[in-house]
Amino acid sequence: MHKDIRLHGLMGDQTEYFVMVVGNDAYQRYFFNIVQEEDQLRIFSPGNEMILSPESISYQGNGGNFCEYMFGVDQPSSDLVKPEIINRLVMYGARSDEDGAVRFSDRTSGTETYDTIFFEGNAVCNYFFFVHSNLLSRKLKNQQEELVKQVGKIIKRTEAVGSERDDILISELYPLLNDETSQLFIVKLINRYHREYRDLFRSFYFKNKKISDEDFSRLVNVATTYKIDRYQQERIRIDAMYRSPANKRIVDEYRNILLACNTKGEINNLDNARLTRLKTLSVRNKIPGALFYTLDEMLKKGRNLRSDQEHDYIATTREILEGIFFREIEIESRIDRNDMLKLIQAKKKAMENRDHSFDQLMLDASKECDEKIRDGADSALLDGFSYVITYLDRFDTVSNLISQLAFMENVRVNEEMLRGLLEHKAAFDNLHEDCFQELFIRELFANAYLGGFGRRKVKTLMEGLEAIESRNSSIEELHVQLIEIDQEERIAIVLLEHVRDRIRNFYSKFNTKSDQEALRREVVEELRTKKRISTDIPDHLFSETIFTIKKEAMYLHSLLPQIIAERNVGLREDFLDNSGLDRFYVEELEREYYEKNGLDIEELYQIRKGLN
């Protein structure tokens, strides 16, 4: 069973060292001496030597140095593409040739200052080592190659280096030498100033993922006292932020996706969605963007999407849906209100563009969710997806009902529908203040094809829902108001149909009140006989019908011929804006006019396009 001896001391105020000698007969070997006059510590074995002085370390023989990679430092491509490699290993006398192969030489001696060691390696902790074994070759270059084969893989992958668990490190490395008489010499160097700065920053950051002004002042004082340069401060801070467990999971997944893209040579839409989602999560979790910029620089290398034809709203949808499945790798990626609002807006855009990509993405995500749960994934995965589906169903329900109410005639809303709308409105407004208004109403009121009755019904609906929310009205009262508008609309449609043919060409005969009253009696009697109405016709409705028919006649006999002759789009739009007639109604009149007069309907379409 192997034993180890440890020697601990300081080189000046800044550099702390631990010397470990491991072997079955370690207690029987003389392995160090101290040169008092030069303040040096010499560690040695046959053919190997390491000298620690106040400013530097000198070495000769076999071995090398290793440390944990700090986040964001340049790494050899061979290390970068392997996520399991977490440590840097430098063997004395080793060089890489043009094709990437490592070549060893017998020139292994050298000297490095502590400043260089903590600058090029880890800012806090670095290890040096050499091995004495009778089984190693005589030539140094061969010894180096043999040591890499024996311990190199473990050194580059063990977590004991970063956690400074020297007992674990020794237990992992020494058995690999396969020589009971061998001795393993390890020197650990600690930069005490950098460690104090790191530990202080870590204690502040891990507490609430931000640094207060007071905390920052303390960090500045430490850096100033110990003269820690800005580059080292930045390295230490970024590495400490990366080591936060929640941050590390997200950043590592981001790196893994980029590595996979690097292997493929492209970043496709799905990859981009996942990368974007992780960046979104980083903002939510207060992870500094610098962690991602560093990886982008190292791995993205300017690669673009495979397809740049994807709409932004589809890319956003893909990003959010991909985030649902991050839960499997212990990355908290719940869909919050902002995400949900983005999905709803994406669905709305897709509907406006008649784009079925959104529905296909939802279908694919649903299938993937079902398959993962079937294969044993956490059923909580379904909760996130169900949350999305519930809101999208709400959107469909409200959108369809509002559209029918606005653009279709004789649509009746019952009290149950109104209760549902009230619930849906509360759910949407919970995402964002006035969300319901923004999603369903604002653009609707700007729609040129929204008719007078449709506008009244939607306006009454919104005012009624808001009054109910403030407890100034009730579902029953709102229902009565909408029924009254619906009845009025039905009468107006029937009235316009029956009055139009009577006076279209002779509207001037019905200018007086007595003439209009006589016409009204005739129409009411006729409609009651045909059982088209059961109540009297309101005065204002009959007057509006007469006025509508007069405007219709003026348009057909005076304005439309001029518009056609001059192709005067402005005159047409001026009439539509100021007449109060519904655009659908006017366009139907235009179509009838063209057909009756044998005109080319394409010309009408060209005039209408002038608006667009």
- What would the pLDDT profile of 139-192 be if each residue is shown by its tens digit? 999 999 999 999 999 999 999 999 999 999 999 999 999 999 999 999 999 999
- Domain membership of residue 531 (yes or no) is no
- Domain membership of residue 401 (yes or no) is no
**Pick from 461, 486, 520: which residue ends a domain?**
520
Do residues 500 and 602 both lie within one domain? no
- Domain membership of residue 383 (yes or no) is no
Residue 590 pLDDT > 60? yes
> Higher model confidence: residue 229 or residue 585?
229
Do residues 480 and 582 both lie within one domain? no
Question: Into how many domains does the chain fold?
Answer: 5
Do residues 182 and 209 both lie within one domain? no
Neighbours of 458 (CB within 10 A): 20
- Domain membership of residue 392 (yes or no) is no
Backbone phi and psi for residue 211, each to the nearest 5 degrees, phi listed first? -115, 120
Q: Which domain holds residue 584?
A: 538-609
Do residues 19 and 60 both lie within one domain? yes
**Pick from 209, 243, 277: which residue ends a domain?**
243
* Cα maximum dimension of the chain: 131
Quick: pLDDT tens for 556-589.
888 888 888 888 888 888 888 888 888 878 888 8
- Domain membership of residue 513 (yes or no) is yes
Do residues 361 and 267 both lie within one domain? yes
Residue 310 pLDDT > 90? no
First to last CA, the chain: 88
- Domain membership of residue 512 (yes or no) is yes
**Pick from 127, 162, 191: which residue ends a domain?**
191
Do residues 200 and 277 both lie within one domain? no
Do residues 257 and 171 both lie within one domain? no
Range picked from 99-108, 298-307, 493-502 for highest mean pLDDT: 99-108
Range picked from 319-333, 417-431, 438-452, 597-611 for highest mean pLDDT: 417-431
Do residues 239 and 146 both lie within one domain? no
- Domain membership of residue 450 (yes or no) is yes
User: Do the Cβ atoms of 36 and 20 come closer than 8 Å?
Assistant: no
pLDDT band at 379 (very low <50, low <70, confident <90, very high): low
121: which DSSP letter? S
Which amino acid, residue 490? R
- Domain membership of residue 387 (yes or no) is no
Do residues 85 and 96 both lie within one domain? yes
Label residue 165 exposed, middle or buried (CB < 10 Å: 0-12, 13-18, 19+).
middle
pLDDT band at 336 (very low <50, low <70, confident <90, very high): confident
What is the C-alpha separation between 27 and 298, in angstroms, rounded? 47
Do residues 319 and 414 both lie within one domain? no
Do residues 249 and 239 both lie within one domain? no
Residue 193 pLDDT > 90? yes
pLDDT band at 303 (very low <50, low <70, confident <90, very high): low
Sign of the torsion formed by the C-alpha atoms of 122, 126, 130 and 131: negative
Interacting residues of 568 by C-beta distance below 8 A, sequence separation 6+ = 562
Do residues 138 and 47 both lie within one domain? yes
What is the C-alpha separation between 290 and 265, in angstroms, rounded? 24
Residue 307 pLDDT > 50? no
